[in-house]
Structure 1
Amino acid sequence: INTRRRAANRFGCAVLLCLLRYPGFSLGPAVQPPEAMIAFIAHQLGIPATAFADYAQRDQTRRGHVIELQKYLGLRSFGLSDWRSSLRIGGNVAWATDRGEPIVLAILAHLRLSGVVIPSTMVLERIGLAARARARKKTFEVLAAGMPDAERNALLGLLTVDPELRRSRFAWLRDYSESPAPANIVSLLDRLDYVRAMGIDPTRAGRIHASRLARLTDEGAIMTVQHIADLEPARRTAILIAQISSLETRLTDVVLAMFEKYIGTLFSRARNRDERRFQATRRDVAKALLLFRQTIAALHQAKEAGEDGVSAVEREIGMDQLEGVLPVIGAVVGVARQDILVTAAERYAVLRRFSPRFLSAFEFRSNVPNDPVLAALELLRALNRGIIRTLPKRPPSACLPLQWRKLIFAGGSADRRLYETAILAVLRDKLRGSNI
């Protein structure tokens, strides 16, 4: 710096030295460094900050300084080979993201490590965009590589209008209700079966980075069917593959969540029905209690008078009236003692609308060795498929509460309605706890 004669040249040479060392780029003719940097260097050099304005009135002077300083710092100018290596580095980063910042930061780190002067912002932007475009193209190619014509035609068929549905299959697959109801569970299972029947290799989605797959999935989720149909073929195929992969996962999650909600609602409503039934007997209960109180009073008076208790009750109340209330008491006791499982099983026919398909749609696994719940599910599947016609005398029941086991086997053999309802309830609890 001190070899420069004029103060302005010493100032300019110092600024160039700082910029080339870090961030690693030169000073263009129209670039003005930050005022704080100018003030800091001016203080170090003992030169007025205003002197920098006179620097490099001849651009040749600035270029000469740049060449000298590159040699001094061991740097070289950005060339074609650096363009190619930067594109490769940027493409590697873009394999996982579409965001420009991490792509450019990786390119900058590579150039600094290689001792290359950083090019202009415009050049960096062009490399970053080219790297992102290359990564996208590679993503499309990898996803569709080796795809049989049958799979490709199945994907394209999603975008055509189905006469039966009066809309495209793709729109149908994405449009479903999440309200917990048997009809909605069946509708979701229809969609899940359709996606699986398409035969798209599930390992395809795993060929690309998870972040890139998520990006494709998000893109497709906000596109209309018409928009997807108008895309260029490679991108359209890639987005459809990502969507189908995502749809199978989403439909599975929604079916399981809906099953859990519906079984929970089934037992909640059963409890409410029992409460309403008991509330409906309030007047009969009050009448029975009144007679009970009168009977106790009559017996008490008879004891004090040394009179026969039965005679006193017959005179004061009448045995006919007491016997008449016995059916009411029996009915009230029956309502009060009825287990919630019995009430829930009253909806067994509704459960059967979806339970066979639900159980056959998934492979359940447990973190408990020899889990009796899984044995019970296999038994129900065998019944649903007609492999066996009746429950065995002692089906797997160790997973059920003792009170439920007593109810199920009260008649000597298992009650299928109660047993199947109880197993589905236990399955729901196990799924919620992630034990199955």
Structure 2
Amino acid sequence: MPRRSILSAAERESLLALPDTKDELIRHYTFSESDLSIIRQRRGPANRLGFAVQLCYLRFPGVILGADEPPFPPLLRLVANQLKVGIESWDEYGQREQTRREHLVELQTVFGFQPFTIGHYRQAVQLLTELAMQTDKGIVLARALIEHLRRQSVIVPALNAVERASAEAITRANRRLFGRIGQALIEAKQAGRDPFAAIEAVMSWDAFAESVTEAQRLAQPEDFDFLHRIGESYATLRRYAPEFLDVLKLRAAPAAKDVLDAIEVLRSMNSDNARKVPTDAPTEFIKPRWQKLVMTDTGIDRRYYELCALSELKNALRSGDIWVQGSRQFKDFEDYLVPPAKFASLKQASELPLAVATDCDQYLHDRLTLLETQLATVNRMALANELPDAIITESGLKITPLDAAVPDTAQALIDQTAMILPHVKITELLLEVDEWTGFTRHFAHLKSGDLAKDKNLLLTTILADAINLGLTKMAESCPGTTYAKLAWLQAWHIRDETYGAALAELVNAQFRHPFAEHWGDGTTSSSDGQNFRTGSKAESTGHINPKYGSSPGRTFYTHISDQYAPFHTKVVNVGVRDSTYVLDGLLYHESDLRIEEHYTDTAGFTDHVFALMHLLGFRFAPRIRDLGDTKLYIPKGDATYEALKPMIGGTLNIKHVRAHWDEILRMATSIKQGTATASLMLRKLGSYPRQNGLAVALRELGRIERTLFILDWLQSVELRRRVHAGLNKGEARNALARAVFFNRLGEIRDRSFEQQRYRASGLNLVTAAIVLWNTVYLERAANALRGHGQAVDDGLLQYLSPLGWEHINLTGDYLWRSSAKIGAGKFRPLRPLQPA
């Protein structure tokens, strides 16, 4: 019986392909000191080179290099350079077959490699069967198996064995699936239930139909800009759309069934090579904007029908009305939420992790009573012209701008302390901060968990991200460092989670420092987006937002505490509203901060954000531009608030809130517990049709909170000052970040999103280190002034800022001189006081 083939020739070749980029070669084939120690025990350069090359192949791609097979030339050169031997030594290696065998045995003994046995085969089939229940793509299973073997240090066998194990797993999965379906049908007949429902209880009807008919799979289309000369792009779209429509399995809610039916028509047309759209093709999904393009005098236009269907599919995927089986981002909206049974149990036990009353009647009674009271109070104050620095007339609202908040005496103190702060190089600053906090210990090796042996090399890699220099230029600017060393360290020690843990260490140190209390108690924060242009190879990855000009770019969205510590940052597209990511920073930072009140500018708020902020226990206070155009909403339509009439936009729809109260609580609980991120849920809600019940209900809840906030804003100058001061701290932090991120014209030139994230994380970490260092030395500067007989009013210390950088040298060669000469527990001397 011939062997079942599930891999194409190209797929077989790709499975054990060697890395072909410099970075990947360095990542996989750079030796540690312990590796080199073992390799150097071989006698002669040829044996050392051969032993090392065999080790490389065993590690990746995980195979034994054949006796007559020459090594990959770039790999050979990299290994030879590390061993300081000539590549011609390879020709002398292994002239005795016994030498190769002895080396292989020794490699297995010393490094723990295991040969692939029948036991491994059985384990592999069992492992792959679970995966094969989700997909029957041979290449997916084969790759999963090879990755598993590499992790277990098992030598990858011949590809025939890999393919055979994958094929057997598919067969077992099919049998298991058919067995479940058969059993479900038997039980349905015995119980008199619907047999079709029984099948769908085991697997989706689409998946069942595919397994029977081997129909092509459906897929999500790529993003594209429609209705703007879109017909001219049809040929380009056709290059890949049919293939995308042959990959993923889609399911739809009833609201999007007509869209999915249209996609099925397109799939059938692609399969049959048909050009004309059937006359009975679904058209209910075609919106008025598309009608004149799709429906013509001669019938349905194929180009625009397909473009319209794919556009609607994109919208449905975003909103969750259509989902992709097996996807994490585009799955059923229900799958993002905590299970209904768990939610019901938590609610019944009064254990929902929310900051509000979970009984709808009680919640609405409390909030609406407060709202009516506040409306009456502000209406009375407006009629009597008693609103502080604000007036409401028939033409709208006018608020007097705030006065300058920094007194002259404070400015003198700012200047004096700045003049005596020590001059310091950025390298010295980072070493000193690490001496205080040990933040570098969080950059552990991905596999072993070991700390980086060369701390200076680690800090060099971090600094390369922070100042936007890149590893190549940093290696040239840092004597004794090579690109290969930096790239290897970045590959194994630099990750999102290591950056996050190190940042939390610095933020916590700032939070605990007594001097930081002059700026706040760590319970308030602000967030803002900072745009960086994308240039060179990264230009195509950026997006254009007219707010930032006509050049493409990325936004680093950063949260900063009232103590100036930047505790969270995220790389986002400039076209996405800032409000989408406000809650992420408050919920998912790793520091000890307990934020209670948060400030943003206008781009940081929506009604959905107002609602979720309140539900999750945060007081939200955005600085809203054109506040007079932002409407108030009242509980009852028959209530009259004569003075507020120009600002009232309508009556709250409380029925929607009542109808969807449990859905609101369940979604907020899911966000709080981390089942789904806040930004993902806000994007989903923002993509919903306007009539979607949950989106409308949450909007109404947000309108209550927004109205209450505006009423507070009108009554409280202190609130306005607090928000203004908080946002000013964020803007000052952005100025520091811009100064640090100065190389490459301040442009992001990394194409991969991973590298762009590392740029943002490195920048945020270094700015946090600067903030902490400045805080420590500002305290010493204030004490020095007092020591010289100058009176320093504690009330003025709040006006000092740890965001200055004039005394920090950010440029030049990056030399790492030990801070040991300062002495443990000691500090750099301040600059001498200048005579008055």
Q: Highest relative contact order (Cα 8 Å, sep 6+), 1 or 2? A: 2
- Given the two structures, how large is their TM-score scaled by the length of structure 1? 0.38
Higher alpha-carbon Rg: 1
The answer to which structure has the higher strand fraction is 2
